[in-house]
């Protein structure tokens, strides 16, 4: 992230969260604006030269700008926002921000509304103010398809209003058929058909007419026209069958979408409504929304953490599986970071709050999802490009078929065929083909600690052929350990380690932590410890002069061969002296993650080309890569070198860069896809990467790759089936081979198959057991 400017005296600043390919996301520091101010900002920034489109997100205080590279001057953005803040509310146009739609709130918006109600103590009451749908939540499903009521997300099939009406319509249709067959009461049978039509059509006709009044047409419009035309031709039964079958497919679609979106809703539900804090020496229970940075939060066994913090006292094991997808509890003690939603084990923890409920790690994830949801993949863009113009095109084709056919043949026959063509060519299955798969796949991944930013990232992940892995923090855990101790001149391993620990006791060097961790007993710190830059440490203990440092500064003597062996194995060797007598050498190395070899073997078996990119020396990189089973090793690289190499790898095959999201930012940006490892609690990693693996288990990488490949296959299956059915049904409808009822049945059956197939993308297996070596 980069803070680019601050307005003097206004207290307003801009931070560039992400930028590239004519798209930029900025966070506005200094105030959180409402929807009125969002409109003002969109209008003001939209007038800046080079800006093509602006979307302001009030709840995240962020702005997404699409611009012309080389034309936009960033320095003009901040003054425009400052001007927008000063515009009187009465002068701001009465419209919703471009980031929202005026239709009913989608589930992502409901997450934020729920969070706001929880923070304000409003319980379950839904406020009409501010109920806006993010562009993707409302527009994830193309206008080519139909409306869905999202006010009450159904938990069970029978709770879907459209399905209940469809069932009633089916009962009435059945009753009309029985009446016509068993009795002479024709008018009664006709009346039952009319009722069946009215009940079935009530699920789509009213909303279609309202959309039509606003100048928007969709598949519901086609179905409404077809039903009305069938009634005009005296085919009330055919029209009723259309209403019955279409209402079933609509109800199933609504249920499937609601079900697949529950994964994102579940994130915020992990946070408890209340927390126990220490204030004025007493434990009191407060609302999670009232937690302040610096509060001392008491977390008892079995409780969830209400927000992020740092452990000040106590030890326990935390279950973070709902956040990171890792099944093994994580030990937490004084100084360790802990995150909202974690479940405390058997110990009592005192945690110092580091983030409010509004800004904790889970809230930030949902904020990012809100801003990034509009990124559609190639399959969805293709489906949208086909579906959107199809509806008006089909209507025009229907008019031409009816008009020309009436001139050359029977008007009644060709009007009927035109109505059948309207149904046969309607693209609802095509419009739903990709979005239902994307929503299902992303929701399922989020439950297992894999954050995928939109359909574009999901599809890109499914096409990856090569992986560039950073060494430190990705292949390794970035926690060096002592792997060997060599001794000489009669010293024991314990003596060598004791001298090293005495000198490193107060050091902040990464190797010091490894040496201190290797000591089994507490050891007194040396006196007068001094660091020799680039060499080592000196000090005194019990009257003895101590030294610790690299070979070259200290003479390895008869340990020369053993030191060389340590270095060849990829370890850092340090020598230890007491009173100028060499005692031994200690080898410290950042070891591979226990699951690394297993993951690399799996990746290679799946056909991925794997390379290691690191700033470490060649010997260390080669040794660890050999352990992991990786042949391509690029070492001693600076960040810009990594970015250049990733560009070269991209030229050979689609390549993803896997790193920590901080030091590897240039390489992540240069790759076809950036994947951040261990991103939980790391703002930069979550902001910059396309995919964020929230946990530390490298097996999530193979899990995410397999999930994306399978999801992409499902998307392509759905698109192919949808286009294939339209291609087959249209000529059959045009030449009268199939009637209205048959076409409606095949069309709606196809949509149901597409929905069910898309929901399959939400199936993903959790990792079981701890990571292990193979």
Tell me whether residue 187 is exposed, middle or buried, using C-beta atoms within 10 angstroms of its C-beta: 0 to 12, 13 to 18, 19 or more: exposed
Residue-wise DSSP of 217-269: --HHHHHHHHHHHHHHTT-HHHHHHHHHHHHHHHHHHHHHHHHHHHHHHHHHH
Which of 58, 57, 48 is CA-nearest to residue 78? 48
Q: Residue 169 CA to chain centroid, in angstroms?
A: 40
Q: Which of 43, 295, 384, 470 is catalytic?
A: 470
- In which element (H, E) is residue 692 found? strand 691-693
Contact criterion met (CB below 8 Å) for 771 and 594: yes
* Residue 691 CA: distances (Å) to CA of 374, 522, 658: 15, 43, 9
State the residue for tokens 């951040």: 676
The whole-angstrom separation of Cα 92 and Cα 39 is: 7
Whole-number Cα distances in Å, 214 to 103, 208, 219, 486, 651: 12, 10, 15, 81, 47
User: How far is 750 from 758, CA to CA, in rounded Å?
Assistant: 12
141 — alpha (psi -120 to 50), left (phi > 0) or beta?
A: beta
* Helix or strand (DSSP H, E) at 312: strand 309-313
Residues contacting residue 541 through CB under 8 Å, at least 6 positions apart:
499, 502, 524, 526, 527
Q: Could you tell me whether strands 673-677 and 655-659 are parallel, antiparallel, or unpaired per DSSP bridges? A: parallel
Question: 210: how many CB neighbours lie within 10 A of its CB?
Answer: 12
Q: What are the respective helix, strand and coil percentages of the chain, to the nearest 5?
A: 50, 20, 30
Cα–chain center distance at 303: 26
Do 606 and 587 form a contact (C-beta atoms < 8 A)? Answer: no
Q: Does the active-site annotation cover 73? A: no
- Give 438's contacts (C-beta < 8 A, 6+ positions apart): 140, 377, 380, 454, 455, 458, 711, 715, 761
| CA geometry: angle 678, 679, 683, nearest 5 deg | 155
Whether residue 747 contacts residue 429, with contact meaning beta carbons closer than 8 Å, is answered with yes
Which residues are the active-site residues? 470
């Amino acid at each position: 992230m980069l803070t680019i400017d601050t307005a003097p005296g206004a207290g307003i600043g801009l931070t560039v969260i992400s930028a590239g390919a004519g798209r930029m996301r900025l966070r506005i520091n200094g105030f959180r604006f409402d929807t009125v101010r969002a409109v003002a900002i969109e209008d003001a920034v939209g007038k800046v030269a080079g800006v093509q489109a602006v979307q302001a997100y009030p709840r995240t205080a962020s702005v997404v700008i699409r611009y012309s590279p080389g034309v936009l001057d960033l320095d003009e953005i901040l003054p425009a926002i400052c001007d927008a803040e000063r515009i009187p509310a009465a002068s701001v146009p009465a419209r919703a921000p471009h980031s929202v739609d005026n239709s009913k709130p989608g589930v992502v918006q409901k997450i934020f509304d729920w969070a706001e109600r929880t923070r304000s103590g409003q319980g379950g009451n839904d406020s009409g103010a501010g109920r806006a749908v993010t562009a993707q939540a409302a527009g994830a499903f193309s206008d080519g398809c139909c409306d869905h009521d999202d006010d009450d997300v159904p938990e069970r099939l029978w709770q879907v209003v459209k399905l209940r009406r469809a069932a009633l319509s089916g009962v009435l249709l059945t009753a009309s058929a029985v009446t016509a067959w068993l009795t002479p009461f024709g008018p009664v049978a006709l009346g039952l058909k009319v009722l069946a039509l009215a009940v079935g059509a009530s699920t789509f006709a009213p909303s279609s007419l309202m959309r039509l009044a606003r100048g928007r047409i969709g598949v519901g419009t086609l179905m409404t026209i077809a039903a009305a035309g069938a009634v005009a031709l005296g085919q009330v039964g055919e029209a009723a069958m259309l209403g019955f079958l279409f209402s079933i497919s609509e109800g199933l679609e609504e249920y499937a979408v609601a079900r697949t979106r529950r994964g994102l809703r579940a994130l915020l539900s992990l946070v408890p409504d209340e927390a126990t804090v220490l204030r004025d020496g007493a434990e009191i229970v407060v609302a999670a929304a009232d937690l302040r940075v610096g509060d001392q939060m008491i977390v008892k066994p079995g409780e969830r953490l209400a927000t992020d913090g740092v452990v000040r006292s106590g030890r326990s094991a935390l279950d973070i599986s709902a956040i990171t997808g890792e099944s093994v509890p994580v030990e937490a003690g004084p100084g360790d970071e802990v995150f909202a939603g974690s479940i405390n084990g058997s110990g009592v923890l005192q945690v110092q709050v580091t983030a409010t409920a509004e800004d904790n790690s889970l809230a930030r994830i949902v904020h990012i999802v809100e801003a990034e949801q509009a990124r559609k993949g190639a399959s969805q863009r293709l489906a949208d490009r086909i579906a959107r113009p199809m509806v008006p095109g089909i209507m025009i084709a229907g008019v031409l078929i009816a008009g020309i056919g009436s001139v050359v043949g029977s008007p009644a026959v060709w009007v009927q065929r035109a109505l059948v063509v309207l149904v046969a060519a309607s693209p609802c299955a095509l419009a739903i083909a990709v979005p239902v798969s994307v929503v299902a796949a992303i929701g399922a991944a989020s439950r297992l600690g894999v954050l995928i930013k939109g359909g574009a990232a999901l599809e890109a992940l499914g096409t990856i052929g090569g992986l560039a892995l950073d060494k430190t923090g990705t292949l390794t855990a970035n926690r060096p350990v002592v792997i060997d101790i060599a001794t000489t001149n009669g010293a024991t391993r314990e003596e060598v380690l004791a001298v090293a620990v005495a000198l490193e006791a107060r050091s902040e060097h990464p190797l010091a932590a490894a040496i201190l961790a290797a000591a089994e007993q507490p050891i007194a710190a040396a006196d007068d410890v001094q660091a020799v830059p680039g060499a080592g440490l000196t000090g005194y203990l019990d009257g003895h002069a101590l030294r610790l440092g690299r070979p070259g500064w200290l003479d390895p003597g008869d340990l020369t061969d053993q030191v060389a062996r340590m270095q060849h194995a990829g370890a850092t060797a340090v020598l230890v002296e007491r009173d100028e007598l060499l005692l031994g050498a200690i080898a410290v190395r950042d070891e591979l993650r226990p699951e690394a070899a297993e993951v690399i073997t799996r990746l290679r078996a799946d056909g991925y080309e794997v390379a290691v990119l690191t700033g470490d020396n060649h010997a260390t990189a080669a040794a660890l890569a050999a352990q992991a089973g990786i042949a391509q090793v690029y070492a001693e690289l600076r960040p810009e070198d990594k970015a250049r190499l990733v560009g070269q790898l991209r030229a050979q095959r689609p390549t993803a860069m896997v790193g920590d999201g901080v030091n590897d930012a240039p390489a992540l940006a240069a790759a076809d896809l950036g994947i951040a490892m261990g991103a939980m609690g790391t703002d930069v990693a979550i902001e910059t990467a396309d995919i964020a693996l929230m946990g530390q288990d490298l097996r999530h990488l193979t899990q995410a790759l397999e999930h994306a490949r399978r999801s992409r296959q499902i998307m392509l299956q759905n698109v192919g089936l949808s286009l294939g059915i339209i291609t087959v049904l249209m000529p059959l409808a045009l030449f009268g081979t199939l009637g209205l009822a048959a076409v409606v049945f095949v069309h709606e059956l196809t949509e149901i198959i597409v929905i069910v197939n898309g929901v399959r993308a939400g199936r993903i297996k959790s990792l079981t057991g701890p990571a292990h070596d193979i």
